[in-house]
Amino acid sequence: MRPVMFRLGLSLGVEMVDLTRGERLQVMLTPQELRALDDWRFKSRMPSRAAAIRELLKRGLAGEGFVLADDGAKSQDFGVISHDSDDAEADSG
């Protein structure tokens, strides 16, 4: 599959965004949920329902304290206990 590029018109220029998606997710909404989504989408000037859903998902996860990992991050980078000796000394003193 070839990547689809979407051009965002910005006041300082044009940015190309790679819109290749790996997974398709189907969501069933009530008429009220769909109306709320569309109202938010138009108010926020989102280009599509899918973009609005991705933005709301990102905001919801961030609100819960979930941060996306950087590319190349390892699972050991997300431990509860720090393995740095500096942190251990600071905690004990």
- The answer to the question of residue 39 being in a domain is yes
- The answer to the question of residue 10 being in a domain is no
- The answer to the question of residue 73 being in a domain is no
Residue 52, number of CB atoms within 10 A of its CB:
19
Q: Is residue 63 packed enough to be buried (19+ CB in 10 Å), middle (13-18) or exposed (0-12)?
A: exposed
Q: Which helix (H) or strand (E) holds 37?
A: helix 31-43
State pTM to two decimals: 0.52
User: Residues 77, 80, 85, 87: what is their CA dihedral angle, to the nearest 10 degrees?
Assistant: 110
- The answer to the question of residue 72 being in a domain is no
- The answer to the question of residue 84 being in a domain is no
Look up the domain containing 54 and give its range.
29-65
Give dist(CA 25, CA 34) in Å, integer.
Answer: 16
Domain total in the chain: 1
Going from the first residue of the chain to its last (93 residues), give the mean pLDDT of each consecutive group of 10, the final group possibly shorter.
47 56 85 95 94 90 78 68 54 55
- The answer to the question of residue 38 being in a domain is yes
